[in-house]
Chains A and B, each alone.
Chain A
Amino acid sequence: MEQQQLILASSPHVRDTDSTQKIMLTVVVALLPVWGASIYFFGLDAVRLVLWAAAAAVVAEAIFQRLRGKPSSTHDGSALVTGMLLGLSVPPTLPSWMVVLGAIVAIGLGKQVFGGLGHNPFNPALVGRAFLTTSFAVPMTTWARPFDGISGATPLALGSGVVPYSDLFFGSIAGSLGETSVLAILLAGIFMFYRGVLDFRMPLGFLATTIGLMFVLGHDPLFHIMSGSIMFAAVFMVTCMVTTPVTRRGRVIYGIGVGIIVTVIRLWGNLPEGVTFAILLMNAATPLINRWTRPRIFGQGVTLDA
């Protein structure tokens, strides 16, 4: 045994079995029922767009890492998650090349220019989506009805009271591929929470604020949170770890902030849908929130004659 080389390293000498790869894989698994629902409602378009987006994101990640002279990082799974999220947040009628372009922008401008995984201030999938929305405004707002593919308006455009709640809940409505079925999204959210990759503070702060404000301002809160991107964003975007505050109080404030901005944009803004920009704005505010909400350190500010 004396001859044997002993490993010298500082404590701790044991590590948890969870890993960043597993976290990303958990999100991918959580996205499967959502994708499944979108295939059910929108058929092959859902397969086409999500596969293209995911493939483009992963390839773009590999190429950009190589260009930056960094080791390959596609195995961490983050690019796959970004691609799937982007693919699921576009309308079913979008041409494939557009979603490919969106994925390249998401990875390139949304993530790699900042240094890759963990360094991006903005949610990459939303950067891609914002790029597509502003560059291709018409295709990005051309909606199709589920099953028959005939073009139709989204419930959000129709206004509350037109589409029954049950359709909103199950998802048989016009909308972005993965965003229509509240049921599938809730399942995904519960799974992610159970696996410890979803901090409930952010979605809860977001949804509670939106519901409260809509109610106070005389709008139908249930209709609002079940239509458009709110539920999808609440589970998959607002919970993005990299681009949200690291403090617990900060995460509550972040969720509330997104809720306020979404409500303002939906009720008074020109955009039909405010979620993308609300989250991007709050991403920008994240460093500030972190600074304001630093937790009290153990033993500081205690009175000695306790």
Chain B
Amino acid sequence: MKKKTFWGGIHPEYHKQVSSETSIQLLPAPEQLVIPLQQHVGSSAKPMVKKGDTVLAGQRIGEAQGFVSAHVHAPVSGTVVAIEARPHSHGKMVQSIILDNDGEETWTDLESHADPIQLSRDQIKQAVTAAGIVGMGGAGFPTHVKLSPPADAEIDYFILNGSECEPFLTADHRMMVEFAADVALGTRLLAKAIGAKRVIIGIETNKMDAIQSLRKHAGNIDIVPLAVKYPQGGEKQLIKALTGREVPSNGLPYECGVVVQNVGTALAAAHAVRDGLPLTHRVITVTGECVQRPGNFLVPIGTSFQQMIEAAGGTKGTVGKVISGGPMMGTAQITTDVPVIKETSGILVLSQEQCAPTHPLACIKCSRCGDVCPAYLLPMRIERAAILGRWDEAEDYGAMDCIECGCCSYICPSKRYLLHYIRLAKNQIMSAKQTRSS
């Protein structure tokens, strides 16, 4: 059978085998946790506690502000010692609740449901909202927003994104293998909440064990093997591969009748709806050439990157970059003193050699960037327009349709910083739009 896929993309070295066989390990909570009030796309949550308050594990400590926002909960019981700006993996300082762990693990009362699938669509949505669940694949978009398309939108497909196409990362893979039943339950719950007619889990074939374990719990869920190619897990690429539909330019997936969610999100939804558990822990991969013992860990949110790296045996060699997420789309960190948040899918430590800056040569118009661009753009054109400051031309060449997958920069034989300049163009185009409309 021909495996489903999309047009374009690349085949980077995956490095997944270094952690794909290691079972998820539960890490004890650290003595102090840093819980940012902003762990999602949208407006920041408002603190519901103040310095000196004692809190229980699972207690809501940050209240969502507005619709596109998410609640924040305490992963452990203890005392609030400060509410202040702390470094954040997005590269800025963010108001965070600093929590001293009392080591008691005293939980608040949780509302569980023996038969969660019998709950109504609204009840599921409410439980997901209450648990503060956001997209856990790296984008951090509040899940309840994705579950609330306009009333007239018809959702034909609910897709669970099991492709995990980023090199190095194996957290989703391990979740699908070890928690297959819960992942399948979460998928059903989310699909029910959106009222989808068909439910698909797409998984790249480098995770055959995940395909097999999920098939045991599949029921009416379609488990579809996907070709191994980056960015197979890009939302638009996944939809195209599985349904043949294209999300309209500037549009959202529901506009073509599809909603996509991530594996971690489904697992969190199962825990939230069935057990009443808020999103306070997540599975992340700690890996990379400079990590002693790469592995997958279940950790409380608020654990620092430094503690995670130490849990993986510490570093070896000369560290070049510490990245939140994968090597293609992750964010390089200036310090390891940032906390794991809801959207942290992995911590990647690359060596100095791997990160040596490249010296770009002139574009030789080989067109490889265009041949890999999954958005069908001509990246070299947008880059040139951006270098010359021609923002209109960059927009005309489709800069705003770039999904920032990085394939163009990856493949360029002249080692040009294509995506860097395309991002610059996108920012300029956006701010020009804002000034025009204000």
The residue of chain B having its C-beta at the shortest distance from the C-beta of A250 within the complex is B367
Q: Indicate if the CB atoms of A13 and B321 lie closer than 8 Å.
A: yes
Complex Cα distance, B362 from A10, in Å, reads 20
Taking chain B's interface residues, is the majority helix, strand, or loop, or is none over half, making it mixed?
loop
In the complex, how many angstroms separate the beta carbon of B323 from the nearest chain A beta carbon? 6
Complex Cα distance, B319 from A299, in Å, reads 40
Most buried by B among A4, A15, A304: A15
Query: CB within 8 A of B361: which of A20, A298, A300?
Result: A20
In the complex, how many angstroms separate the beta carbon of B235 from the nearest chain A beta carbon? 11
Which residues of B lie under 8 Å from residue A19 when comparing CB positions? 413-415
Say yes or no for B236: interface residue by CB 8 A criterion: yes
The residue of chain A having its C-beta at the shortest distance from the C-beta of B246 within the complex is A302
Complex Cα distance, B375 from A242, in Å, reads 23
Say yes or no for A67: interface residue by CB 8 A criterion: no
In the complex with contacts A1-B336, A11-B419, A299-B247, A118-B362 CB distance below 8 A: yes
Q: Indicate if the CB atoms of A6 and B327 lie closer than 8 Å.
A: no
Query: CB within 8 A of B249: which of A115, A299, A306?
Result: A299
Say yes or no for A9: interface residue by CB 8 A criterion: yes
Say yes or no for A247: interface residue by CB 8 A criterion: yes
Binds A, one of B97-105, B177-185, B200-208, B376-384: B376-384
Query: CB within 8 A of A244: which of B251, B309, B365, B377?
Result: B365
In the complex, how many angstroms separate the beta carbon of A80 from the nearest chain B beta carbon? 14
Complex Cα distance, B370 from A247, in Å, reads 8
Query: CB within 8 A of A241: which of B329, B365, B404?
Result: B365
Q: Indicate if the CB atoms of B419 and A242 lie closer than 8 Å.
A: no
How large, as a class, is the contact surface on chain B? Answer: 35 or more
Residue interface bits A1-35, CB-to-B below 8 A is 1, else 0: 11010111111111110111011000000000000
Complex Cα distance, B240 from A294, in Å, reads 21
In the complex with contacts A76-B361, A297-B249, A23-B413 CB distance below 8 A: yes
Say yes or no for B119: interface residue by CB 8 A criterion: no
Which residues of A lie under 8 Å from residue B10 when comparing CB positions? 16
Say yes or no for B409: interface residue by CB 8 A criterion: yes
Which residues of B lie under 8 Å from residue A6 when comparing CB positions? 319-322, 332-336
Complex Cα distance, B354 from A1, in Å, reads 18
In the complex with contacts A7-B332, A11-B331, A298-B364 CB distance below 8 A: no
In the complex, how many angstroms separate the beta carbon of A69 from the nearest chain B beta carbon? 16
In the complex, how many angstroms separate the beta carbon of A50 from the nearest chain B beta carbon? 23
Most buried by B among A1, A78, A242, A243: A1
In the complex with contacts A2-B336, A15-B358, A117-B361, A298-B406 CB distance below 8 A: no
Complex Cα distance, B367 from A244, in Å, reads 10
Say yes or no for A246: interface residue by CB 8 A criterion: yes
Complex Cα distance, B415 from A15, in Å, reads 8
Which residues of B lie under 8 Å from residue A302 when comparing CB positions? 245-246, 248, 256
Say yes or no for A119: interface residue by CB 8 A criterion: yes
Q: Indicate if the CB atoms of A13 and B319 lie closer than 8 Å.
A: no
Most buried by A among B236, B247, B364: B364
Q: Return 16 A-B CB contacts under 8 Å, by A number.
A: A8-B321, A10-B419, A11-B329, A12-B406, A12-B407, A13-B350, A16-B10, A20-B366, A242-B364, A244-B365, A246-B380, A247-B367, A248-B371, A295-B370, A298-B236, A298-B374
* Additional pairs, 13, CB under 8 Å, beyond known A246-B370, A298-B375: A1-B319, A4-B319, A10-B417, A10-B419, A11-B404, A11-B419, A13-B323, A23-B366, A76-B361, A118-B362, A295-B370, A298-B374, A300-B401
